[in-house]
Amino acid sequence: MKAKITYRPNGQKTPNLFRNVLTDSVLKDICIRITNQEEYEVHIDNTSNGINKGRLVFVEYNDEKHYVTLSETKDDGRNSTLQSAPTVLNLFTADSSTKKTLNFYFLKHEGNLFTPYLQFGYKLLMTVGYKFINIECVENPNSAKFTDRKPFSSLDELINWRRITKKRNRSNNSSYITKTESAVQIYAKTYGASKYESTLFAISAFVLSDMPVELYTIVEGRLKNLPKSSLASIMHYKGMFPHAFEIHNTTLSFDRNKLDSEPDSIKLRAACYTYNLLSRIGPKKCALCGCEIPEIIQGAHIWPVADIKKSSLTDAEKFGHATSSHNGMWLCQNHHKLFDSNILFVDEDGHIKLTNNITDTNKIFIVSITKNDTLSKTLLSHEFKEYVKSRNQSLDLTKTQIIK
Question: Does residue 271 form part of some domain?
Answer: no
- 170 pLDDT band (50/70/90 cuts)? very low
Sheet holding 64-70, edge to edge: 40-44, 3-7, 56-61, 64-70, 100-105, 131-132
- 60 pLDDT band (50/70/90 cuts)? very high
Q: Evaluate if residue 80 carries a pLDDT over 70.
A: no
In the Cβ-directed half-sphere of 57, how many Cα atoms lie within 13 Å?
29
Question: Does residue 265 form part of some domain?
Answer: no
What is the extent of the structural domain holding 354? 278-404
Q: Evaluate if residue 18 carries a pLDDT over 90.
A: yes
In the Cβ-directed half-sphere of 153, how many Cα atoms lie within 13 Å?
3
The pairing of strands 100-105 and 64-70 is parallel
pLDDT in tens, 215-265: 998 876 666 678 888 999 999 999 999 889 998 888 767 777 777 777 778
- 141 pLDDT band (50/70/90 cuts)? low
The residue out of 118, 150, 182 marking a domain boundary is 150
- Nearest by Cα to 165 from 121, 108, 104: 121
Q: Which residue has the higher pLDDT, 264 or 314?
A: 314
Question: Does residue 17 form part of some domain?
Answer: yes
Say what the pLDDT of residue 226 is: 83
Say what the pLDDT of residue 256 is: 74
- SS3 for the chain is CCEEEEECCECCCCCCHHHHHCCHHHHHHHHHHHHCCCCEEEEECCHHHHECCCCEEEEEECCEEEEEEECCCECCCCCHHHHHHHHHHHHHHHCCCCCEEEEEECCCCECCCCCHHHHHHHHHHHHHCCEECCHHHCCCHHHHHCCCCCCCCCHHHHHHHHHHHCCCCCCCCCCEEEECCCCEEEEEECCCCHHHHHHHHHHHHHHHCCCCEEEEEEEECCECCCCHHHHHHHHHHHCCCCCCEEEEEEECCCCHHHHHHCCCHHHHHHHHHHHHHHHHHCCCCCCCCCCCCHHHEEEEECCCHHHHHHCCCCHHHHHHHHCCCCCEEEEEHHHHHHHHCCCEEECCCCEEEEECCCCHHHHHHHHHHCCCCECCCCCCCHHHHHHHHHHHCCCCHHHEEECC
Question: Does residue 266 form part of some domain?
Answer: no
Average pLDDT over residues 134-154: 78
- C-alpha Rg value of the chain to the nearest Å: 25
Say what the pLDDT of residue 171 is: 43
Q: Which residue has the higher pLDDT, 126 or 196?
A: 126
Q: Residue 194 region, left (φ>0) first, then alpha (ψ -120 to 50), else beta?
A: alpha
Residues 307 and 404 in one domain: yes
Q: Evaluate if residue 55 carries a pLDDT over 80.
A: yes
Question: Does residue 16 form part of some domain?
Answer: yes
Question: Does residue 115 form part of some domain?
Answer: yes
Q: What percent of the chain has pLDDT over 90?
A: 66
Q: What distance in Å separates the CA atoms of residue 367 and residue 277, rounded to the nearest whole number?
A: 26
Residues 181 and 78 in one domain: no
Q: Evaluate if residue 169 carries a pLDDT over 50.
A: no
Q: How many domains does the chain have?
A: 3
Question: Does residue 236 form part of some domain?
Answer: yes
Q: Evaluate if residue 78 carries a pLDDT over 60.
A: no
pLDDT in tens, 337-379: 999 999 999 999 999 999 999 999 999 999 999 999 999 999 9
Residues 308 and 399 in one domain: yes
Residues 377 and 248 in one domain: no
Q: Which of 78-92, 173-187, 289-303 has the lowest mean pLDDT?
A: 78-92
Residues 65 and 128 in one domain: yes
Say what the pLDDT of residue 140 is: 65
The residue out of 150, 175, 208 marking a domain boundary is 150
pLDDT averaged over every residue in the chain: 89
The residue out of 150, 174, 208 marking a domain boundary is 150
Q: Evaluate if residue 402 carries a pLDDT over 70.
A: yes
Say what the pLDDT of residue 218 is: 83
Say what the pLDDT of residue 326 is: 97
Q: Evaluate if residue 138 carries a pLDDT over 80.
A: no
Q: What distance in Å separates the CA atoms of residue 259 and residue 280, rounded to the nearest whole number?
A: 22
Question: Does residue 95 form part of some domain?
Answer: yes
Q: Evaluate if residue 290 carries a pLDDT over 90.
A: yes
- 168 pLDDT band (50/70/90 cuts)? very low
Q: What distance in Å separates the CA atoms of residue 260 and residue 265, rounded to the nearest whole number?
A: 6
Residues 212 and 238 in one domain: yes
Residue 105: other Cβ atoms inside 10 A: 20
Residues 172 and 139 in one domain: no
Residues 14 and 132 in one domain: yes
Which residues sit opposite 13 in a β-bridge? none
Residues 209 and 142 in one domain: no
Which residues sit opposite 133 in a β-bridge? none
Residues 76 and 186 in one domain: no
Q: Is the dihedral of CA 200, 204, 206, 210 positive or negative?
A: negative
Residues 34 and 94 in one domain: yes
Residues 122 and 198 in one domain: no
User: Could you tell me the CATH number of the domain that includes residue 240?
Assistant: 3.30.750
